């Protein structure tokens, strides 16, 4: 097994290059030695069934009993792990990555798997087992649908038209029941055939090009809301009634306002890339903002440590304490509840939130090894220039007098460096963007290619 594909909180690589079908067997043999009962599921990628088969073989030969959920979304696997009281859940998935990728996500009801924990298990020696584990097939659909139905608030009145883009993911298997989960509304579903080649677009809703079909559907059918889900169903992106993409900074504010109305003065976890105006917004509402490094497992760990009621990431992972894990469909229903109670168009709700002077996330393509080297090199440059920065997650430089910030960090899930910046005013934004350009150029000199077209003028 190529150990370089062990990331901050999962295992992920290109099938046939640095990740192989046989890796499922090794993961199974190693993880099967640390738990008696393990819940497993797999996503719609074409290699997932083969990897799952190898994973099951490894788990059972190590003596672990397998609770097999089959084709499912990551939230379905998380729910199944809780409902069956399994110690560990393993999901065969590469989440939002393109079709050539695959990997493993790990879930536990008692802890969050870190890079160190995953490495410790994977590097352990294989011991002989005196027994072969059993395999139990479990259908989680009814229980999971019940969770979603119970999220719908009865006092949220009104009927709206909703467009859904399932990204050809396993969420398509649940969306067919959406009329039962959310009755009375008009539902228009696109990309709802389960297809691991992702024929129309990659399953990453943070990339605006992947939202084109959904935007066109919202406009064509006069929808009140568009909802995009990622490749394993744990992330969300919204389109408003005008066909405009809603920033996840704004969606984070919408969710936190609702949380703080129910739980005043609550702790809220925000990943390091979220807008500083979201921090100000939460503080003004009486909430306590705690910043966390990027990564859904890291955010979840911080949420548990701080006993927070809500956490969110720029990428669209949102965590509600009453559920306990990130779920795109659950977040979607929460957003629909808010929209119905507000009796306003989503565009009007967003218009009344703080105006943002902030970039989209920019990706600077690199290699797995070099992306970390580049970040370390730029850190040394900043130290020589006596420029203070936070190294909680990559490099984050905060301008004086709270005028804004910029960040460069190595992605946990892709071979790239991500960059973003924000200004308090348009003038501040223009200045800070120039600073960010300077260090993006330095990254290019360190043998990277970058894409600046996503930066607003």
- Residues involved in catalysis: 95
The residue to which tokens 């559907």 are assigned? 217
DSSP string for residues in 44-61:
S-TTHHHHHHHHHHHHHH
Cα–Cα distance measured from residue 433 to residue 217, given in angstroms and rounded to the nearest whole number: 33
Q: Which residues contact 400 (CB under 8 A, 6 or more apart)?
A: none
DSSP string for residues in 387-448:
---B-SSSEEEE-GGG-EEEEEEE-SSSSEEEEEEEESSHHHHHHHHHHHHHHHHHHHHTT-
Beta-bridge partner residues of 67: 39, 136
Q: Which residues contact 325 (CB under 8 A, 6 or more apart)?
A: 75, 78, 79, 107, 234, 300, 319
Tokens for 210? Answer: 């992947």
- Laid out side by side, the sheet with 236-239 consists of 186-190, 161-165, 225-229, 236-239
Helix boundaries (H) for 263-310: 276-284, 296-306
């Amino acid at each position: 097994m190529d150990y370089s594909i062990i990331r901050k909180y999962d295992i992920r690589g290109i099938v046939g290059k640095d990740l192989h079908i046989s890796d499922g067997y090794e993961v199974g043999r190693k993880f099967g030695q640390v738990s008696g009962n393990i819940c497993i599921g797999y996503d719609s990628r074409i290699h997932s069934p083969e990897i799952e088969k190898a994973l099951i073989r490894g788990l059972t030969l190590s003596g672990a009993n397998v609770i097999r959920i089959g084709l499912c979304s990551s939230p379905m696997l998380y729910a199944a792990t809780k409902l069956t009281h399994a110690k560990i859940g393993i999901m065969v998935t590469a989440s939002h990555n393109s079709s050539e990728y695959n990997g493993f996500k790990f879930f536990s009801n008692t802890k969050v798997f870190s890079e160190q924990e995953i490495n410790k298990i994977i590097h352990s020696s294989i011991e002989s087992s005196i027994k072969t584990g059993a395999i139990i097939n479990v259908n989680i659909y009814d229980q999971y649908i019940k969770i979603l139905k119970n999220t719908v608030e009865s006092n949220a009145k009104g009927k709206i038209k909703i467009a859904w883009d399932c990204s050809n993911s396993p969420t398509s298997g649940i969306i067919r029941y959406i009329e039962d989960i959310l009755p009375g509304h008009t539902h228009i579903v696109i990309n709802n055939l389960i297809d691991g080649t992702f024929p129309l677009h990659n399953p990453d809703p943070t990339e605006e090009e992947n939202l084109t079909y959904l935007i066109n559907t919202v406009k064509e059918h006069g929808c009140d809301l568009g909802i995009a889900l990622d490749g394993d169903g744990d992330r969300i992106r919204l389109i408003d009634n005008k066909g405009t993409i809603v920033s996840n900074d704004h969606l984070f504010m919408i969710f936190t306002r609702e949380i703080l109305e129910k739980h005043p003065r609550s702790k809220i976890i925000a990943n390091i890339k979220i807008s500083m105006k979201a921090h100000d917004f939460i503080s003004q509402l009486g909430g306590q903002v705690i910043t966390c490094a990027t990564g859904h497992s890291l955010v979840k760990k911080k949420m548990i440590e701080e006993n927070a009621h809500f956490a969110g990431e720029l990428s669209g992972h949102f965590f509600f304490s009453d559920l306990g894990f990130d779920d795109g469909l659950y977040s979607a229903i929460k957003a629909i509840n808010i929209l119905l109670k507000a009796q306003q168009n989503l565009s009007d709700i967003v218009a009344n939130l703080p105006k943002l002077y902030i970039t989209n996330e920019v990706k600077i393509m690199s290699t797995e090894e070099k992306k970390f080297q580049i970040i370390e090199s730029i850190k040394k440059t900043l130290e020589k220039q006596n420029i203070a920065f936070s190294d909680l997650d990559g490099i984050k430089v905060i301008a004086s007098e709270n005028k804004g910030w910029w960040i460069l960090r190595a992605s946990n899930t892709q071979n790239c460096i991500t960059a973003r910046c924000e200004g308090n005013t348009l003038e501040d934004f223009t200045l800070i963007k120039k600073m960010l350009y300077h260090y993006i150029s330095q990254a290019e000199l360190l043998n990277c290619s970058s894409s600046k077209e996503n930066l607003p003028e």
